[in-house]
Amino acid sequence: MIRVWRFGCKRYTIFLFELVSIFKVIMRAIVIGSTKHFLFAAFYGALGIGLALIITAVWLLNARPNLSLWHTTHLTSEYHQQSGLTDFSQYLQLEDKLFAEVEQQVYRQYQPEIASPVNRYERNSLSDPGLWQQNWNRSFEWKNPQAEFGLLLLHGMSDSPYVMSHFAQHYQHQAYVLGLRLPGHGTIPSGLTDITWPDLAGAVSLAVARLSAQLPGKPIYVAGFSTGAALALNHELENISLNKPTSFAGMIMLSPAIGLAPIAAGAYWQAKLGKLLGQDKLYWNSIQTEYDPFKYRSFAVNAGDVVYQLTQRNQTLLASLSAQQFNAIPAMLTFQSVVDDTVSSLAVVDLLYQKLPINKGHQLVLFDVNRTKSNNQLLFQDPLATFAPFWLPKQLPYRLSLVENDPQQDNHVQVRELADKSKTDDVIALSLTWPNDVYSLSHVALNFPIEDSLYGPLPSNDPDKIQIGRAIYQGERGIFSVTADDMLRQKWNPFYPYMMTRIDEFTQGYQPESPLGNKPLNISH
């Protein structure tokens, strides 16, 4: 009986074991099958999403304006680092060939069905650069035998030397002025589709060598706007990293491209996708009417990538410098609006100025927003608040000046010298005011006074030339080819006189020996 019972238990045990094994096999099959179904579902889901995105992208591309002659023409006479030029004279000779090519390939070839009064590529339109006494799209060199110093002027991405024209005119009797046209600029927007940041840096090196040869023993200053400022910084960082002498006695930077939004890193992949799909429109972030005689309105994807790669190179160099090498960076004077839709205002402080050594003559001027009572009510975020953590240290490694509203007189302006926490801030009253309809400066505004005939708001005496600063039209949106953003963006600097006073002091080596106190600074328009 016991034997029978044991045999029965054994058979039952074997049966349970086989049942468990079968269950495991079944479950494994279910899991494998479910995984396969899941993977198939995920694959086809991703494929469907990808196709939907491609269809949407193609639809959006077709909805964009058609590319014009100035978007598709390739210029063969543009400078590249591999061009083999050894001096700036050769650069100017190549530039002559380049502009002759533009004349032949674009101006003479373009035959519009309907003439446009504001197309820069139509002769005798309001936007024709040829209407100006000087072609500000080209490099210029104003020699001065009595020059106290050399001044190199570097414009920004998609700009031209015009953006630095007021600096040139201000210093033409004091300095030997060289305004450089960066490669890819001043011609047609397609010029920015195949340039690299080393191309731009190579042109800067040729210009620096030219000034050094013309002014032996005299100081050379550089004033750079946006990408031009980043190129000036790069020139010196490359020298310092190789333990070479620096070139500049001082650097003046306006809205410098120190850091960009992370989305800028995607420009490279957008261009790759355009090449893969054979869609030339993907090479462009924007395709717009070219109504500005000295600035491209259409913006090539590659141009954004060039600026991004340049800023990354500068950050790599800064991270590699020793304390002694940081001391070799020439004195910098930087002007920056606390709001800037093109470059990161915070990066100027966080990635550059906070890393600088103390007492080396570095200066930073920040332009605050217009804090009238009504404007304060409309601000959903205080742009100045993000800077506050950097001002907590007892001693800043640079002189910090904040151009702001006078709290006692709403639209009047003062400069507050932000001292360390153990001292009281010095306040300087300016004889300047915020315009009633301006709530902040912009990336593009700093370089231009109110009198600028192209971007300023004052009526021009020349009705035959476009005046972009007065092109503000009211009505319903979505009608004009010129976007509302372009029309409403601030284009001139109400505080230009103060800025130039600071630059004059900087080039003269002025250093205040004592606090300026509360005495008014007599500056007017």
Structure tokens at 39: 């993977």
Residue 335 in domain: yes
pLDDT at 129 over 90: yes
If phi over 0 gives left and psi between -120 and 50 gives alpha, with beta otherwise, what is residue 160? beta
Residue 71 in domain: no
Query: Amino acid letter at 42?
Result: A
Q: At what angle do helices 301-320 and 267-277 cross, to 10 degrees?
A: 140
Residue 518 in domain: no
pLDDT at 11 over 60: no
Per-residue pLDDT tens digits for 133-189: 999 999 999 999 999 999 999 999 999 999 999 999 999 999 999 999 999 999 999
Biggest CA pair distance of the chain: 127
Structure tokens at 24: 């495991």
How far apart, in whole angstroms, are the C-alpha atoms of residue 25 and residue 335?
A: 72
pLDDT for the residue numbered 513? 40
Indicate the number of domains in the chain: 1
How far apart, in whole angstroms, are the C-alpha atoms of residue 414 and residue 428?
A: 6
Percent helix, strand and coil across the chain, each to the nearest 5: 45, 15, 45
What CATH number is attached to the domain comprising 148?
Answer: 3.40.50.1820
Handedness of CA 420, 426, 432, 437 (dihedral sign): positive
The dihedrals phi and psi of 250, each to the nearest 5 degrees, come to -170, 155
Per-residue pLDDT tens digits for 363-390: 999 999 998 877 777 788 888 999 988 8
Residue 60 in domain: no
Per-residue pLDDT tens digits for 230-258: 999 999 999 999 999 999 999 999 999 99
Residue 14 in domain: no
Which range marks the domain in which residue 233 is found?
Answer: 87-507
Per-residue pLDDT tens digits for 92-119: 999 999 999 999 999 999 988 888 899 9
Owner of token pair 């190579």:
202
Count of residues in the chain:
525
Query: Which is nearest to 494 in space by CA: 370, 408, 391, 339?
Result: 370
Residue 496 in domain: yes
Which residues, at least 6 apart from 64, have a Cβ–Cβ distance to it below 8 Å?
281, 284, 287
Structure tokens at 399: 């002189």
pLDDT for the residue numbered 523? 42
Residue 224 in domain: yes
Structure tokens at 25: 């096999």
How far apart, in whole angstroms, are the C-alpha atoms of residue 123 and residue 131?
A: 9
Q: By three-state DSSP, how is residue 254 classified?
A: strand
Residue 262 in domain: yes
pLDDT for the residue numbered 442? 94
The DSSP secondary structure of 203-238, one letter per residue, reads: HHHHHHHHHHHHSTTS-EEEEEETHHHHHHHHHHHH
Q: By three-state DSSP, how is residue 417 classified?
A: strand
Per-residue pLDDT tens digits for 189-205: 999 999 999 999 999 99
Which residues, at least 6 apart from 363, have a Cβ–Cβ distance to it below 8 Å?
331, 332, 333, 334, 398, 399, 400, 401, 502, 506
